[in-house]
């Protein structure tokens, strides 16, 4: 952390920098105000410049301790050029210079104190909003750090605070936006850009987007628009890029960006929904109340839609949807316009343009699955460009990809691969060390009690990384993303480390009993969903094991296993059909949409004397097998003529981790397995058929857990149990 001097200073715009700094220091010493300010109180009347001194600054890359003074001089005293201001959703971006004349961009929150003449007097509600926007700004900084070293994105220098307000310091991109460049680009007689220009713009943007696919966790921009696509002009003029039919893009404004692999965001937790420019945004970016919206909003298909909308406009001269004149802004129905109406067909200007037009129209499909991938779009667009030009420019920018600091003060003088290693470590360090300060906002948080309650003492860095204190603190969308991370781990030990990081396993690798998340059912009951297994169940689609397995901790219904005596085993039981139909409908939509079908083995014959009765069935909601609750039973634990029962019972699966840790026994009652139905201890069904009893009694007998927690209590007829028996199913996400 670089800490700076705080003080009050004035500037009238006529002093040279050296005199200005001397004057500033004298004013610092003379300051007598109770609340000192680090931003100037007066503004240059001619230029609107304002001198600021940062209180804190955290560099995006590691700084050698010997170079810390250089870093302070370079980054912590800045002159904001308030006339150069771009406004965003929650903030302003201003041009700034340091005392050496180096140019930067500074992003501030709109309600900052730096540019005002007095400290803002925020209400409790405004303070809470300021806190949430501060978190959103830091989230944007994280995303910028992830792509800062990639060609096609702005470089970021660090995150700091001034006068208790947070800010991001990044590269000021010299160039012109696509919106500004449009009149200068070659046009066709029809009014749109030439086909080659359309392809060149699309090609440039797609190459930038595809750069992020090489990251461990790709970044989705989510707000592509002509205003947010810059063409750098530091190396080649715009005229040269047009002549080359090859652009040097820079995708700016990452305020709506997200990570593809479950970067659960504090902005979602705080109900700050990121939207995008309506004219170009995918439908899923214009709503927040459809099933599975969180997962839809992390798809690269969002950027494909936005880029396709831009290319549609470039080719035709009009936007796909005329949202400005439809009254959508007044009614808030942008989403309905894009899902219930179709854009005007894009007619190819010649036979050769058909493939281009087709890929653009596919890109603005309502359903994500109908859109092409970024790579598929690139392959089509590349066919419209001169091969030589495409090859010549493809490698351009490699040097910039590892130039993690191009300034005059702090340089990392290392070869390519080593630079990448340093950069990766620096990114990791910046995200894991708790060295940043969010200035006065921390005091606001303390006053409101927001951070303490939300993070359970784990702090803002963990909270921003999507880590919560307990299972019940996560949303189902968050748990799904954790589950996907666990599923994708290369080894079981790596999967368990991920579970530990998110506090789903304790330091010893145990599930922290009882580890439940409350669920409100459609029938009005409230039950707990208890975590019972990590990477345990085989997914039906054959892609591996589900990351997380849950079972409810109380009855969700009271039902017989069958209405009539079944002719076979578990496969014939009506309860199985109910679980995957009406039973599933009892669950809240946000959970039901995330449940994954798995493979479950059961006795689907009924009366049997060998494990040949076992077979696999698909299951969404499922009942546990006896072996999944109490583990395997040796053959000699059964009477001599019934050793075959061990093969049948043990063949239905493996014991879940939670029950293994609870030492659930098949030979006694188990207090931890006692379950209730409407406040009273109850019996509950297993899917394990009793093959011996079924044979002797001439009907299907099912095992169940007794009201005392005995997992191998006496079997009972499926259609007429001796005691009312509840349904307590499990599921995977």
Helix (H) or strand (E) holding 104: strand 103-109
- Do 128 and 186 fall within a single domain? no
- Do 435 and 385 fall within a single domain? no
For 128-175, the pLDDT digits (tens) are 778 888 888 998 999 999 999 899 999 999 999 998 899 999 999 999
Phi, psi angles (nearest 5°) of residue 250: -145, 120
What range does the domain containing 428 cover? Answer: 2-137+146-172+405-442
**Range from 161-170, 389-398, 434-443, 600-609 carrying the lowest mean pLDDT:** 434-443
- Do 80 and 97 fall within a single domain? yes
Q: What is the pLDDT of residue 473?
A: 86
Q: What is the pLDDT of residue 690?
A: 92
Alpha carbon dihedral 416, 420, 426, 427, in 10-degree steps, equals 140
- Do 163 and 213 fall within a single domain? no
Q: What is the pLDDT of residue 433?
A: 34
- Do 376 and 437 fall within a single domain? no
Split into its structural domains, the chain has a count of 3
- Do 107 and 244 fall within a single domain? no
Phi, psi angles (nearest 5°) of residue 447: -65, -35
Residues whose CB falls within 8 Å of the CB of residue 525, separated by 6 or more in sequence, listed in order:
554, 556, 678
Q: How far is CA 52 from CA 44, 82, 698, in A?
A: 13, 12, 88
For 571-598, the pLDDT digits (tens) are 999 999 999 999 999 999 999 999 999 9
Structural domain contains residue 572: yes
pTM: 0.53
Structural domain contains residue 498: no
Rounded CA separation 140/367 (Å): 27
Q: What is the mean pLDDT of residues 592-608?
A: 95
Strand pairing report for 701-705 and 614-619: unpaired
Q: Are 256 and 179 in contact (CB under 8 A)?
A: no
Q: What is the pLDDT of residue 375?
A: 95
Q: Helix, strand or coil for residue 623?
A: coil
Q: Binning pLDDT at 50, 70 and 90, where does residue 530 land?
A: very high
Tokens of 232: 């750098």
- Do 687 and 724 fall within a single domain? yes
Structural domain contains residue 212: yes
Q: What is the pLDDT of residue 692?
A: 83
Taking the alpha carbons at both ends of the chain, their separation in whole angstroms is 41
Residues whose CB falls within 8 Å of the CB of residue 603, separated by 6 or more in sequence, listed in order:
569, 570, 613, 614, 648, 652, 688, 689, 691
Q: What is the pLDDT of residue 423?
A: 42
- Do 421 and 311 fall within a single domain? no
CATH code, 33: 3.30.200.20
Q: What is the pLDDT of residue 108?
A: 94
Q: What is the pLDDT of residue 431?
A: 40
- Do 46 and 195 fall within a single domain? no
Rounded CA separation 131/441 (Å): 6
Residues whose CB falls within 8 Å of the CB of residue 269, separated by 6 or more in sequence, listed in order:
454, 463, 475
Q: What is the mean pLDDT of residues 632-658?
A: 95
Phi, psi angles (nearest 5°) of residue 705: -90, 130
**Of 675, 662, 660, 659, which Cα lies nearest the Cα of 709?**
675
- Which of 396, 417, 452 lies at the terminal end of a domain, its last residue? 396
pLDDT at 25 over 60: no
Within 473-612, where are the H helices?
A: 476-488, 492-501, 574-578, 584-585, 589-592
CATH code, 205: 1.10.510.10
Within 565-704, where are the H helices?
A: 574-578, 584-585, 589-592, 626-630, 644-650, 657-661, 691-697
For 366-417, the pLDDT digits (tens) are 999 999 999 999 999 999 998 744 544 443 333 333 233 333 223 323 333 4
Instruction: Give helix 492-501 / helix 476-488 axis angle, nearest 10°.
Output: 150
Phi, psi angles (nearest 5°) of residue 600: -130, 135
Q: What is the mean pLDDT of residues 18-43?
A: 33
Helix (H) or strand (E) holding 703: strand 701-705
Tokens of 484: 């996907």
Q: What is the pLDDT of residue 407?
A: 32
Rounded CA separation 353/323 (Å): 27
- Do 112 and 192 fall within a single domain? no
**Range from 131-140, 175-184, 568-577, 627-636 carrying the lowest mean pLDDT:** 131-140
């Amino acid at each position: 952390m670089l800490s700076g001097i705080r003080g009050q200073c004035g500037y009238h715009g006529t002093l040279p920098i050296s005199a200005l700094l001397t004057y500033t220091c004298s004013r610092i010493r003379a300051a007598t105000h109770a609340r000192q300010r680090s931003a100037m109180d007066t503004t240059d009347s001619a230029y609107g410049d304002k001198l600021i001194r940062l209180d804190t600054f955290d560099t995006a890359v590691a700084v050698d301790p010997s170079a810390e003074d250089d870093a302070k001089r370079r980054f912590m005293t800045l002159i904001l050029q308030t006339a150069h201001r771009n406004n965003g959703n929650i903030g302003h971006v201003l041009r700034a210079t340091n005392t050496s004349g180096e140019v930067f961009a500074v992003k501030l929150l709109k309600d900052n104190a730096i540019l005002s003449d007095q400290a803002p007097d925020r209400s409790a509600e405004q303070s809470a909003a300021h806190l949430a926007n501060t978190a959103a700004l830091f989230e944007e900084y994280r995303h910028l750090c992830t792509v800062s070293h990639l060609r096609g994105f702005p470089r970021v220098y660090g995150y700091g605070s001034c006068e208790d307000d947070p800010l991001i310091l990044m590269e000021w991109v010299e160039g012109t936006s696509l919106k500004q460049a449009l009149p200068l680009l070659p046009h066709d007689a029809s009014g749109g850009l030439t086909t080659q220009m359309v392809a060149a713009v699309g090609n440039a943007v797609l190459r930038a987007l595809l750069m992020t696919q090489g990251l461990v966790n790709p970044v989705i921009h989510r707000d592509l628009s002509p205003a947010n696509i810059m063409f750098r002009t530091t190396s080649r003029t715009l005229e040269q890029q047009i002549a080359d039919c090859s652009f040097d893009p820079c995708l700016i404004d990452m305020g709506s960006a997200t990570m593809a692999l479950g970067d659960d965001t504090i902005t979602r937790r705080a109900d700050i929904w990121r939207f995008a420019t309506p004219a170009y945004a995918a439908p899923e970016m214009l709503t927040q109340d459809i099933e599975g919206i969180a997962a839809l909003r992390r798809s690269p298909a969002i950027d494909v839609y936005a880029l396709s909308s831009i290319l549609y406009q470039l080719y035709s001269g009009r936007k796909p949807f005329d949202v400005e004149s439809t009254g959508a802004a007044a009614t808030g129905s942008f989403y309905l316009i894009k899902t219930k109406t179709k854009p005007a067909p894009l007619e190819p200007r010649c036979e050769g343009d058909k493939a281009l037009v087709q890929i653009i129209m596919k890109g603005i499909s309502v359903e994500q699955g109908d859109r092409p991938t970024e790579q598929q779009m690139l392959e089509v667009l590349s066919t419209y460009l001169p091969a030589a030009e495409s090859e010549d420019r493809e490698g351009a920018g490699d040097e910039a990809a590892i130039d993690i600091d191009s300034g005059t003060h702090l340089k990392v003088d290392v070869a390519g691969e080593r630079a990448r290693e340093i950069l990766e470590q620096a990114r990791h360090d910046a995200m894991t060390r708790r060295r940043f300060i969010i200035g006065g906002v921390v005091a606001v948080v303390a006053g409101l009690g927001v951070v303490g309650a939300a993070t359970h003492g784990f702090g803002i860095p963990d909270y921003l990384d999507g880590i919560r204190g307990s299972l019940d603190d996560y949303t189902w969308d968050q748990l799904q993303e954790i589950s996907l991370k666990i599923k994708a781990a290369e080894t079981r030990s790596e999967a368990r480390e991920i579970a530990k990081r998110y506090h789903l396993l304790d330091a010893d690798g145990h599930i922290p009993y009882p580890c439940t998340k409350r669920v409100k059912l459609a029938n009005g009951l409230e039950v707990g969903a208890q975590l019972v297994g990590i990477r345990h169940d085989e997914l039906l689609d054959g892609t591996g094991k589900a990351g997380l397995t849950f079972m409810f901790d109380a009855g969700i219904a009271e039902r017989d296993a069958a209405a009539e005596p079944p002719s076979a085993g578990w496969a014939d039981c009506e309860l199985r059909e109910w679980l995957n139909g009406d039973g599933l409908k009892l669950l809240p939509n946000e959970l039901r949409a995330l449940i994954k079908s798995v493979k479950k083995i059961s006795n689907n014959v009924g009366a049997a004397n060998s494990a040949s009765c076992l077979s696999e069935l698909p299951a969404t909601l499922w009942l546990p097998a006896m072996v999944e609750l109490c583990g395997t039973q040796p053959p000699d634990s059964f009477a001599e003529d019934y050793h075959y029962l061990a093969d049948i019972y043990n063949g239905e699966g493996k014991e879940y981790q939670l029950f293994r840790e609870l030492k659930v026994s098949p030979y006694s009652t188990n207090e931890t397995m006692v379950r209730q139905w409407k406040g009273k201890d109850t019996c509950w069904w297993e899917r394990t058929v009793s093959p011996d009893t079924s044979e002797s009694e001439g009907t299907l007998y099912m095992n169940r857990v007794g009201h005392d927690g005995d997992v191998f209590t006496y079997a009972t007829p499926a259609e007429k149990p001796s005691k009312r028996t509840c349904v307590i199913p499990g599921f995977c996400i």
